[in-house]
Amino acid sequence: METLEDEQSTITYDRSKNSFPEELIEDILSRLLVKSILRFKSVSKPWLSLISAPSFHNLHSTVAPRTTALFFTARDLSTGTRYFFSGANDCGSVANLMKLDNTVLEAHYHAEHLNGLVCFTSHTSRFGKIYAFLFNPSKHKFFKLPDPPVSLPNYTAEEKDTCYLFGFDELTNEHKVLYITLQLTTIEIMIFSFSNYSWRKINVDVPVGVAVWRWWFGTKKSVCVNSTVHLLLQNPLQILAFDLTTETFFIFNMHPEAAPETISNTICPFAQFVKINGLLGVACYDPSIVNRRNKMDIWMLQDYQNRVWVRETISFASKSQIPYGARGPYPFDSITMDEIIFSPRVLSENLISVPIYNMKTRCFKSIELTLGHRFLSPKSVRVEEIKCYVESLIPLQN
């Protein structure tokens, strides 16, 4: 006859037989998708502790399959509210991550993604204060950067400007944000490091011959490649680069055909950075040129050290194939090794169509995304940014 003590002993023995070594559990979990891992956080306190550890995040980023998704912003023109969404890069519905009220249409907006995090900015008014946010769309977590400890400029004065630039230092495996204050004759730079969540000022010289006004009239949209943040300079178009590892500036030229005379000598040139398959790219999207040729050139810096550029020429079967705005057809980002996202088309109050160009087949396809918010009308929807990010477990401070 089995006693209660014997029964409890048997249960304990059976549980011990069914338990797994922590190293094995860690190895199994680290190979799962982010969404699956997040569901396991509620299994037990030990699992929560394991999944929350920085060492596990690093392991997961190394061994887990690389999965990507879309992050994009859409502005409601009737209310001024910006909505932030994320969703699969094939098709279907998307999640409504957050919203910002009373945003400014005319103000510069920009979103940049690097190693699982997205950085975006928002203005309080046309020349109002600018805020920066870091987002992990996979975990639906965001962090508002604290104001840098500098004397903020008088935002009512149009001769002053500020911008935030996002980068990733591969040497230290760390995300960094640059805060730059520009005036016609001076420049001030601070760096926010996520290793200690703090700002520090740096003293750095801008390359000789680079007047601040050339930067001031630039696009303010950057691309980080090889631990280096890149910006477009004006008149003539050149590339200003900031190395996050050495914290120094340098300048180099684009391919001559990437900046034809029609776009290189204007205050607002139809040229823009786009990152394709990890390479720095320059898209020439002047509507007059695209309309005449029914084609667009994207120049990619294939060999960064030796400055070797290669050209990808994209042909449009018809003008209706890609939505034409004031900027013409516009490439936003790359989804995979060979696919480029173009300007989306608004189909209804909560449905958009995203054209995707495949560089191997040289053909377009479209995916439809159902927004997590129904706008007043299709005319009130403006999709501002659409990016492809790598899903990750990177934590952000509350």
Which range has highest mean pLDDT (19-33, 198-212, 298-312)? 298-312
Cα 150 off chain centre by: 26
246: confidence class by pLDDT, cuts 50, 70, 90: very high
Position 8 scores a pLDDT of 46
395 belongs to a structural domain: no
Q: Which residue has the higher pLDDT, 186 or 228?
A: 228
Q: Are residues 15 and 131 in the same domain?
A: no
Position 146 scores a pLDDT of 92
Neighbouring C-beta atoms of residue 217, cutoff 10 Å: 17
- Per-residue pLDDT tens digits for 88-127: 887 777 888 888 886 665 555 678 889 999 998 877 655 6
Q: Are residues 211 and 336 in the same domain?
A: yes
Question: Which long-range contacts does 344-347 make (Cβ < 8 Å, 24+ apart)?
Answer: 344/72, 344/383, 344/386, 346/378, 346/381, 346/383, 347/378
398 belongs to a structural domain: no
Averaged pLDDT, 64-75: 86
- The CATH number of the domain holding residue 158 is 2.120.10.30
Position 65 scores a pLDDT of 84
Q: Number of structural domains, the chain?
A: 2
256 belongs to a structural domain: yes
Averaged pLDDT, 13-18: 44
Q: Are residues 11 and 115 in the same domain?
A: no
Position 121 scores a pLDDT of 85
Percent of the chain scoring above 90 in pLDDT: 24
Q: Are residues 383 and 358 in the same domain?
A: yes
Asked which of 9-18, 83-92, 144-153, 382-391 is least confident by mean pLDDT, the reply is: 9-18
Residue 122 CA: distances (Å) to CA of 266, 314, 325 = 26, 32, 22
Question: Which long-range contacts does 228-235 make (Cβ < 8 Å, 24+ apart)?
Answer: 228/167, 229/165, 229/166, 229/167, 229/178, 230/273, 230/280, 231/165, 232/269, 232/271, 232/272, 232/273, 234/267, 234/269, 235/264, 235/265, 235/267
**Which of 23, 39, 59 finishes a domain?**
59
Q: Are residues 14 and 110 in the same domain?
A: no
Asked which of 56-65, 175-184, 252-261, 320-329 is least confident by mean pLDDT, the reply is: 320-329
Position 264 scores a pLDDT of 47
Which residues form the domain of 131? 68-390
9: confidence class by pLDDT, cuts 50, 70, 90: very low
Q: Are residues 218 and 353 in the same domain?
A: yes
Averaged pLDDT, 286-314: 87
**Residue 351 to residue 365: CA distance in whole angstroms:** 16
Position 17 scores a pLDDT of 46
Mean confidence (pLDDT) of the chain:
80
Position 12 scores a pLDDT of 44
pLDDT higher than 80, residue 70: yes
The structure tokens 């037990």 sit at 44
- Per-residue pLDDT tens digits for 192-223: 998 889 999 998 887 777 776 666 656 668 89
221 belongs to a structural domain: yes
Averaged pLDDT, 348-361: 89
Are the CB atoms for 174 and 195 separated by under 8 Å? Answer: yes
Averaged pLDDT, 268-294: 80
Q: Is 291 helix (H, G, I), strand (E, B) or coil?
A: helix
Averaged pLDDT, 187-194: 90
Position 16 scores a pLDDT of 43
Q: Are residues 39 and 137 in the same domain?
A: no
**Which of 36, 59, 82 finishes a domain?**
59
Position 58 scores a pLDDT of 87
Position 160 scores a pLDDT of 63
Q: Are residues 115 and 157 in the same domain?
A: yes
- Per-residue pLDDT tens digits for 42-53: 888 888 899 988
Q: Are residues 50 and 86 in the same domain?
A: no
Q: Are residues 317 and 270 in the same domain?
A: yes
Are the CB atoms for 174 and 234 separated by under 8 Å? Answer: no
**Residue 366 to residue 12: CA distance in whole angstroms:** 56
Position 217 scores a pLDDT of 59
Q: Which residue has the higher pLDDT, 231 or 11?
A: 231
Residue 4 CA: distances (Å) to CA of 9, 15, 17, 110, 178 = 9, 17, 20, 67, 66
397 belongs to a structural domain: no
Q: Are residues 8 and 88 in the same domain?
A: no
- Per-residue pLDDT tens digits for 133-182: 999 999 988 899 998 886 544 444 445 678 899 999 999 989 999 998 87
- Per-residue pLDDT tens digits for 321-349: 555 544 556 788 888 788 999 888 888 88
Q: Are residues 246 and 339 in the same domain?
A: yes
